[in-house]
Structure 1
């Protein structure tokens, strides 16, 4: 379980980063035009 918890945490972190980038991209696109 501990071993499986590590990848899950990493995946969650990656997902959060992905969402942040997506949000920034949307904001940037909206700002551009």
Structure 2
């Protein structure tokens, strides 16, 4: 898994969500 607090840019480009199977490129950064 990915450790909590890992910067998004440090996650490998070939990563995918283990829950839903979405690839990293499927995610979009949003401000909260």
Q: Which has the higher contact order (CA 8 A, sep 6+)?
A: 2
Using structure 1 for the length normalisation, give the TM-score: 0.18
Name the structure where helix makes up a greater proportion of residues: 1
Larger radius of gyration, structure 1 or 2?
1
